[in-house]
Amino acid sequence: MSAPRQFDVIVVGAGLIGAAAACLFARQGLTVALVEARALDRHAGAGDATDERVSAINLAAFALFDALGVWRGIDPQRVSRYDAMKVWDCNSPAKISFLAADLGAPCLGYIVENRALVAALREKLRQNYNVTLLDNTEVAGINYDRDPNPNDAGGRLSVTLSDSGERVQTRLLVGADGADSGVRELGGLHSRSEDFGQDAITATVSTARDHRATAWQCFLDTGPVAMLPLADGRCSLVWSCDRADADELMRLEDADFCARLQPLFAHELGNITACQPRRRFALRQQHADAYIAEAVALIGDAAHTTHPLAGLGANIGLVDAAALAEVVEWARRHRKDIGQTSVLRRYERWRRGDNARVLAMMKGFKEIFGSRHAGAKAVRSAGMNLADTVTPLKMVLAKFATGQYGDLPALCRRA
């Protein structure tokens, strides 16, 4: 019987966060297996069709992609930078705006089609012979080697693949497999979940006026509605609302849906002239009680999910990946086992506290901006106007929105 294949790191989940993590580990010269449940098109991202799924990439995530050499591989027709952000309360005169020039930054961030991001990441992975893609399979089980040989370049964790029953070995298993993470379950890690009772409706819409490289967001009592600028002049809509309202909005004909949306943005973007097919997804907040187990680490949605009102989900997941890679690099410099619990604990201490604060803040924003109580309305109106006029407070919020806060990994810091 042949010996099992051995990898330094196995990353489960070939989406945005998992592919970025695989790039980071391969960059260190580690042997990496990237496991994905779906059958993947190795050339995903090619073609002219617009991907209605987009991510708001902040400056910390941009710095990471730039350092990896991935950003230059993204089709520029799939990227739209935004230089301004305007936010207002639809039920009061309260408003706040941010300009890149106020931060001394080239822009506030980028709106990028997910397909283009993942295509650029996979192209970078194809260029690295240390990466093996194992698609159309899942991790069916894991077993620990309780007596690992510290001089063995192979694994201390045996991973069984579902399609063939093959067992492969690794020193570190990384779960980047989403909110319903199988790695989290197999690693015996638990999470707490809270359903917001809301859905987000997404679509690509056309407007009579140019978006002017600005991200627009208004707050209704039922949740925020965002219009994000796309490279072709259209906007990506994210409408968060109570589930009953989402049911109604999804039943509307396109023309009626546009008519419902138009009053919210007509003063800035003019008439809503067209709407591409709508999608919806449930909103919930989830946080793992622990990010690590022996030789196992969680990143991205496998560790945490939150409300999309600030567009932070993918961004904090990318910072997770960069932080874990930095900890692994530190461990190798100090000749430590990269899957050792004491090593992985450094990653957990680094990221879980910061993420918990972000999730608490997002929950607080959702509650105060989603409240119909007169007192809450007065507080949010006064708070928004205060933040818009008090420069130090506004700068703190701007740094938060652009990802320039907290203890960032070296690859995520602005030069």
Give the whole-angstrom CA distance, residue 404 versus residue 67. Answer: 16
How confident is the model at residue 403, as a pLDDT? 87
Give the whole-angstrom CA distance, residue 59 versus residue 197. Answer: 31
Give the whole-angstrom CA distance, residue 328 versus residue 145. Answer: 20
pLDDT band of residue 307 (cuts 50, 70, 90) is confident
How confident is the model at residue 90, as a pLDDT? 83
| DSSP label of 370 | T
Q: Are 49 and 26 in contact (CB under 8 A)?
A: no
Q: Which of 45, 22, 24, 43 is nearest to 32 (CA)?
A: 22
Average pLDDT on 194-215 reads 94
Half-sphere exposure (CA, 13 Å, Cβ side) for 273? Answer: 10
Give the residue carrying structure tokens 């980028």.
110
Higher pLDDT, 355 or 415: 355
Q: Which of 271-280, 341-350, 370-379 has the highest mean pLDDT?
A: 341-350
Tell me the pLDDT tens digit for each residue of 319-372: 999 999 999 999 999 999 999 999 999 999 999 999 998 888 777 666 666 556
Pairing of β 223-229 and β 235-242: antiparallel
How confident is the model at residue 377, as a pLDDT? 59
How confident is the model at residue 47, as a pLDDT? 37
**Whether the predicted model's global pTM rises above the 0.85 cut:** yes
Tell me the pLDDT tens digit for each residue of 126-179: 888 789 999 999 999 999 876 555 545 446 899 999 988 899 999 999 999 999
How confident is the model at residue 366, as a pLDDT? 64
Give the whole-angstrom CA distance, residue 257 versus residue 261. Answer: 6
Burial string for 215-227 (b: 16+ CB within 10 Å, else e) reads bbbbbbbbbbbbb
Give the whole-angstrom CA distance, residue 167 versus residue 10. Answer: 12
Per-position DSSP letters for 345-377, written without gaps between them: HHHHHHHHHHHHHHHHHHHHHHHHHT---HHHH
Q: Which neighbouring-strand residues pair with 358?
A: none
Average pLDDT on 210-235 reads 93
